[in-house]
Chain A
Amino acid sequence: MLDTLRLTNRRFHGGIHPPENKLQSSLEPLRELPLPNEVVLPLGQHQGQLAKPLVEIGEKVKTGQLLASTTVATGACVHASITGRITAIEDRPLPQVSGLSLPAIVIQREGEEESFTYPRYDNWQETPNEQLLERIQTSGLVGLGGAVFPTRTKLAGALEKGIETLIINAAECEPYITADDCLMQTRPAALLEGIGLLIKLLQPREVLLGIEDNKPQALESLQKALPGSGLEEQLQICVLPTLYPSGGEKQLIQLLTGKEVPSGGLPLDLGILCHNVGTLAALADAVIRGRPLIERIVTITGQAVSQPGNYLVRLGTAIETLLQAAGWNQDKHQRLILGGPMMGFTLPSAQVPVTKAANCLLLPTEEELPLPGPEQPCIRCGRCEEACPAQLLPQQLYFYAAHQVFDQAEEHQLFDCIECGACAWVCPSEIPLVQYYRYAKGEVRQLRADAEKAEQARLRFEARQERFEREQAEKEAKRQARAQAAAKLAAAQKAKQEAKTQQEPQTQSEQASSEPDVQAALTKKLKQLKTAKAASSVAVKKAEKGLANLKAAADTTPEQLSEQEAKLAKAKEQLQKAEQQLAEAEAGNTPAAAQPAPEVKPSTGNPEDPAKKLKQLKTAKAATAVAVKKAQKTLDNLKAAADSTPEQIAEQEDKLAKAQQQLQKTEQQLAEAEASGQPAPTAAPGQPTATPEDPAKKLKQLKTAKAATAVAVKKAEKALSNLQAAKDATPEQIAEQEEKLAKAREQLTRAETRLAQAEEE
């Protein structure tokens, strides 16, 4: 068996000794909380994508049953933590500072507790890695140390890259928290099993467990459990001097290996993988015992609770229930901190569920953790620098953040700050330094995102412009080809006709009967052109309104404005074109109607018939395309403005409604075309096979085009509602949205291709 190592010679820079306050909770035995009557299980307890619910309201579920799953790398499955009936799937507030709400599954307890277990992998030593990973995925495992990153993804990454060193983080350096301590004392065997599993999966060269020397019982319990676990020769336990933040991943790596994680990199870049003890025990439960992640140990402590200690809690239990069980003294309360006093955050409400990330609830009294005094000026005493484990210059960072010199803050490696709070803890001027860094980081991220978005918008605009020009050129080429073909055809027919007139005078009457039909078609065409003109003038107005709105909105970025202006210009262009077309058509109509030239008419009339329909098609297509584009662009705008206000959303809804209206109009036009298409076969018996089939075919194509664009609109709409649901659209959501838009665009192009085909025929 390897000797326990006492690491006293390696250090990280700085560090502090805040009062530990661990005994309040660590001396108490682990208590199991009675089953709650209701649990709320958010579909996004982890970082990343929401899981998709697999159950419906009213369904009965057993404890451990899979409720929502995901296959995305950044997602994690959610399981029922009690037996009962699903009463709601709706937005519920998460335990976060912002009080953000996300979709959650609510289960009301009902009947006897029944467990849904998965097959055990008793012989996990022989089970293929893929199968183990699959189980880890379906068990909903995430890092329980605080990062809440999906375990499967982390392990898959490590498997792919290969690791040298496996580090088990048992430091638990944050004051007050003893959840890991408690776990090591009560379930050392499960922890060792978890370590064994990881060794089997990853085959590391060395396995180091780092534990602070303030947890002698946990250490003893581990040492006792070690013989016979099969890890005696592999697991190196390292005892670290107590110093905050030795449990920070980077600091622990430095302490145990002497290496530093490169700035902006991952431990994996050094061939190191870190896991928290809680995660490993849960891993063993999931794989070896077939128990998904449905409960965790939560430390409840602080002088405002009369029974501080560690509690085994089902996920989704309301924090308030938990507080009551721990003897929460209501009038002594002041702050409800999720996490420890150094890095935890205050919750705005206790009516939020315990999630996978919740390791500690701290309810300090004012005497225990006094409220911060007034912020005084920085006297540049340098204490913060001495304390900073990242070896930054917190006083300089503070100066740059407070004066909003963000480029200098970045230059002083703002993003290497791990927000440990050591600097703020020592600062004699009581400056909330970490708050300044968070603010600066947020601002820098925003600036970066804005720059990127503007760049993307520019690229998109250029691509659109290019496509538009290309299409115009193609259309022009096709039009010319068609004109030539028509001329040829006309010449041929004229020749034929001349021949025919001599032989069969009967044809004459036929042509006469077709003439009124041609005129009808011409008026129809006029009508359609008018509709097109109306549609584009509506578009112009809309664009103008949009521009005005944007100008009125105080927080509009210049990019948005210019985009909107571009839109307006385009709409105006379209309007002009429509008007021009209308004028041309009107001008062409009168002489055509007045001219009774029987020889020419039929020959031009017949090829004009499909052309007319093509124009209809074009109008319909253009109208819907405009609608889609608009929905799309507004969505872009919404995306650009990270904080879309309710007014903006309302506006967007308004626009979408209008787009739908236009779609309806197109449908109406289509119906008209269908109605007018019917008499066509009788009108042109001269070409008995081609003509009757032609309009029918075109109608079908029209339908296809319409359906495709309708789908596009619907998709854009759906995406919008998604965006609305998430107040602060996450990058993933935006990605999803973009994907959808891309699809819509694809469909549009398909419709266009079909149209082009129709044109050629």
Chain B
Amino acid sequence: MAWIQLSSPHSHNRVTTDQVMRQVVIATLPGIATLTWFFGPGILVNLILTISSCLLAEALVLKLRNRPLTVLKDNSALVTGILIGCCLPASTPWWIPVLGGSFALLVGKQLFGGLGQNPFNPAMAAYAFLLISFPVQISIWPAPATPLSDTSWLNSLAGSDALTGATALDAWRNKGLLMAEEFWQADGYLSSQMVTAWASVASAWLVGGLYLIWQRIINWQLPLTFLATLFIAGSFVWGFNPSHQIPPWLHLAASSAVFAAFFILTDPVSGATSLKGKVFFAIGCGLLVISIRTWGSYPDGVAFSVLLMNFAAPALDYYTRPRVYGQKQARKGLASKEKS
């Protein structure tokens, strides 16, 4: 009689990686819906393009590496595609999402050995690449409208840039010497629709994020730390010069912050791995974002902050190890060299 031989444990809770990824996909739906509502089906077109280019690129690499295509079922390429798609403006030319999706998968992920091996967040790597290479195409959003009744998005797809609008942070950057009050009152800079649109989108991401926390896909500490850092550091900078610095609420409402807090920073692969490390990771990202927004030359800095902190993640891991049961204190740093 042949018995099956297996190592313990013989029991497993039924959550698998593809299920985790599926939950993430579900959590992005409110955000996607809101984006589409305000900026038109261009968002969906972008998503279709990024997702298909991600899946195709992954399939291609798997073929080249002689790996089974079933790996695609882990849904991670799908998630990467969605995350890039959500960052791109609705009116961007078709080749931008295709390029972004392929770059994320090929350079951001598979070049390093696939799922679990990539040191950088693939979506952010791709976004940063696009931002540096095509700053114009990637920064111009169509003016928000009450879509589905409006056909202006068709024009934007056709390449007309007549109906573009600046995002809040862009507008702020371009306000020049205007005082804050004047800025808000001035018409040409930032439409109130734009503000409403982005605030709604941010809330939609928040809903999705809370869903993830509820489903225990992500922990609450990381997003909270990030948003809190943004708010506190933002207030601090703003306190010095309220008339020229971004008000803290705008730091949070500018769509990228909430989205990043729940969907980008929480990428487990490229972040710090221990809980304590994650908290430091979030603080670091928050401070970098504020610095870039305040002193940098890019209006938004989430992508760069995340990538920079990805660099720091291994060091964070070494210095934030928990105190193991029975140890007087936590060990820090690298293994002492004389041991090896």
| Binary per-residue interface labels of chain B (1-28) against chain A in the complex, 1 for a CB within 8 Å, 0 otherwise | 1011111111111011101100000000
Is B340 among interface residues, defined by CB-CB distance under 8 A? yes
Closest A residue by C-beta to B71: A376
In the docked arrangement, what's the CA distance between A501 and B16, Å? 112
B325 touches A346 (CB 8 A): no
B10 touches A416 (CB 8 A): no
Is A381 among interface residues, defined by CB-CB distance under 8 A? yes
A382 touches B274 (CB 8 A): yes
| Binary per-residue interface labels of chain A (409-445) against chain B in the complex, 1 for a CB within 8 Å, 0 otherwise | 0111100100101001110111010110010000000
In the docked arrangement, what's the CA distance between A385 and B12, Å? 16
Closest A residue by C-beta to B340: A407
Is A263 among interface residues, defined by CB-CB distance under 8 A? yes
CB-CB under 8 A from A18, the residues of chain B are 11, 13
B10 touches A348 (CB 8 A): no
Is A575 among interface residues, defined by CB-CB distance under 8 A? no
Is B300 among interface residues, defined by CB-CB distance under 8 A? no
**How far is the CB of B87 from the nearest CB of chain A, in Å?**
21
**How far is the CB of A434 from the nearest CB of chain B, in Å?**
6
**How far is the CB of B274 from the nearest CB of chain A, in Å?**
6
In the docked arrangement, what's the CA distance between A410 and B117, Å? 22
| Binary per-residue interface labels of chain B (302-340) against chain A in the complex, 1 for a CB within 8 Å, 0 otherwise | 000000000000000100011111111001001110011
In the docked arrangement, what's the CA distance between A345 and B8, Å? 6
CB-CB under 8 A from B321, the residues of chain A are 393, 412
Given A346-B4, A349-B3, check contact A12 B10 (CB 8 Å): no
In the docked arrangement, what's the CA distance between A264 and B17, Å? 35
Select one of A335, A381, A386 contacting B20, CB under 8 A: A381
| Binary per-residue interface labels of chain A (383-403) against chain B in the complex, 1 for a CB within 8 Å, 0 otherwise | 001100111110110000000
**How far is the CB of B307 from the nearest CB of chain A, in Å?**
17
Select one of A336, A350, A390, A421 contacting B9, CB under 8 A: A421
Is B74 among interface residues, defined by CB-CB distance under 8 A? yes
Identify the stretch in A363-371, A479-487, A561-569 within 8 Å (CB) of chain B at 4 or more residues: A363-371
Is B271 among interface residues, defined by CB-CB distance under 8 A? yes
The number of chain B residues touching the other chain, given as a range, is 35 or more
**How far is the CB of A56 from the nearest CB of chain B, in Å?**
34
Closest A residue by C-beta to B336: A411
In the docked arrangement, what's the CA distance between A265 and B3, Å? 37
A425 touches B274 (CB 8 A): no
CB-CB under 8 A from B13, the residues of chain A are 16, 18, 425-426
**How far is the CB of B148 from the nearest CB of chain A, in Å?**
37
In the docked arrangement, what's the CA distance between A376 and B76, Å? 12
Closest A residue by C-beta to B273: A380
Is A260 among interface residues, defined by CB-CB distance under 8 A? yes
A396 touches B20 (CB 8 A): no
B324 touches A413 (CB 8 A): yes
Is A257 among interface residues, defined by CB-CB distance under 8 A? no
A175 touches B8 (CB 8 A): no
Given A380-B116, A393-B274, check contact A428 B19 (CB 8 Å): yes
Is A726 among interface residues, defined by CB-CB distance under 8 A? no
Is B275 among interface residues, defined by CB-CB distance under 8 A? yes
B273 touches A393 (CB 8 A): yes
In the docked arrangement, what's the CA distance between A370 and B116, Å? 25
Closest B residue by C-beta to A400: B335
Select one of B317, B324, B334 contacting A392, CB under 8 A: B324
In the docked arrangement, what's the CA distance between A175 and B331, Å? 33
Closest B residue by C-beta to A417: B324
B9 touches A430 (CB 8 A): no
Is A470 among interface residues, defined by CB-CB distance under 8 A? no
Given A380-B269, A411-B336, A425-B11, check contact A13 B5 (CB 8 Å): no
A413 touches B327 (CB 8 A): yes
Given A382-B278, A407-B340, A426-B13, check contact A263 B6 (CB 8 Å): no
A364 touches B275 (CB 8 A): no
Q: Could you tell me which residues of chain B, from 88 to 142, have a CB within 8 Å of some CB in chain A?
A: 114-117
Is A377 among interface residues, defined by CB-CB distance under 8 A? yes
Is A344 among interface residues, defined by CB-CB distance under 8 A? yes
CB-CB under 8 A from B10, the residues of chain A are 335, 337, 341-342, 344, 346, 362, 364, 369
Select one of B76, B269, B273, B334 contacting A385, CB under 8 A: B273
Of listed A13, A175, A413, residue having the most chain B CB within 10 A: A413
Select one of B16, B275, B327 contacting A382, CB under 8 A: B275
In the docked arrangement, what's the CA distance between A403 and B288, Å? 33
B278 touches A416 (CB 8 A): no
B74 touches A376 (CB 8 A): yes
**How far is the CB of B35 from the nearest CB of chain A, in Å?**
26
Of listed B321, B323, B324, residue having the most chain A CB within 10 A: B324
Is B296 among interface residues, defined by CB-CB distance under 8 A? no
Select one of A254, A344, A382, A425 contacting B12, CB under 8 A: A425
CB-CB under 8 A from A611, the residues of chain B are none
B275 touches A385 (CB 8 A): yes
Of listed A347, A382, A434, residue having the most chain B CB within 10 A: A382
Is A408 among interface residues, defined by CB-CB distance under 8 A? yes
CB-CB under 8 A from B188, the residues of chain A are none
In the docked arrangement, what's the CA distance between A391 and B322, Å? 7
In the docked arrangement, what's the CA distance between A330 and B3, Å? 11
**How far is the CB of A168 from the nearest CB of chain B, in Å?**
21
CB-CB under 8 A from A254, the residues of chain B are 325
Is B239 among interface residues, defined by CB-CB distance under 8 A? no
CB-CB under 8 A from B323, the residues of chain A are 391
Is A262 among interface residues, defined by CB-CB distance under 8 A? yes
**How far is the CB of B160 from the nearest CB of chain A, in Å?**
42
Given A377-B117, A391-B324, check contact A343 B271 (CB 8 Å): no
Given A396-B273, A411-B339, check contact A250 B6 (CB 8 Å): no
Q: Could you tell me which residues of chain A, from 8 to 31, have a CB within 8 Å of some CB in chain B?
A: 12-13, 16, 18-19
Given A336-B3, A370-B12, A425-B12, check contact A380 B271 (CB 8 Å): yes
A348 touches B17 (CB 8 A): no
**How far is the CB of A146 from the nearest CB of chain B, in Å?**
12
Closest A residue by C-beta to B70: A374
In the docked arrangement, what's the CA distance between A432 and B6, Å? 10
Select one of B11, B339, B340 contacting A341, CB under 8 A: B11
Select one of B9, B12, B335 contacting A408, CB under 8 A: B335
CB-CB under 8 A from A396, the residues of chain B are 273, 317
Is B159 among interface residues, defined by CB-CB distance under 8 A? no
CB-CB under 8 A from B268, the residues of chain A are 379-382
Closest A residue by C-beta to B14: A370
Is A226 among interface residues, defined by CB-CB distance under 8 A? no
A416 touches B9 (CB 8 A): no
Closest A residue by C-beta to B278: A382
B3 touches A347 (CB 8 A): yes
B116 touches A411 (CB 8 A): no
**How far is the CB of B99 from the nearest CB of chain A, in Å?**
26
CB-CB under 8 A from B334, the residues of chain A are 408, 411
A411 touches B331 (CB 8 A): yes
Is A735 among interface residues, defined by CB-CB distance under 8 A? no
CB-CB under 8 A from A389, the residues of chain B are 325
In the docked arrangement, what's the CA distance between A412 and B336, Å? 11
CB-CB under 8 A from A411, the residues of chain B are 331, 334-336, 339
A261 touches B8 (CB 8 A): no
In the docked arrangement, what's the CA distance between A419 and B8, Å? 9
In the docked arrangement, what's the CA distance between A43 and B219, Å? 52
**How far is the CB of B311 from the nearest CB of chain A, in Å?**
16
A261 touches B326 (CB 8 A): yes
Report 15 cross-chain contacts, Cβ distance below 8 Å, ordered by A residue: A261-B326, A263-B327, A330-B1, A341-B9, A344-B8, A346-B3, A376-B74, A377-B116, A378-B116, A382-B273, A390-B325, A391-B324, A426-B15, A434-B9, A435-B7
Q: Which 3 A-B pairs have the closest CB atoms?
A: A421-B9, A377-B116, A411-B335
Given pairs A335-B4, A350-B1, 8 additional interface contacts (CB within 8 A): A335-B10, A372-B12, A378-B116, A381-B20, A385-B275, A391-B325, A407-B339, A410-B335
Binding site for B on A (CB under 8 A): 12-13, 16, 18-19, 97, 175, 250, 254, 260-265, 330, 333-337, 339, 341-350, 362, 364, 369-373, 376-382, 385-386, 389-393, 395-396, 407-408, 410-413, 416, 419, 421, 424-426, 428-430, 432, 434-435, 438
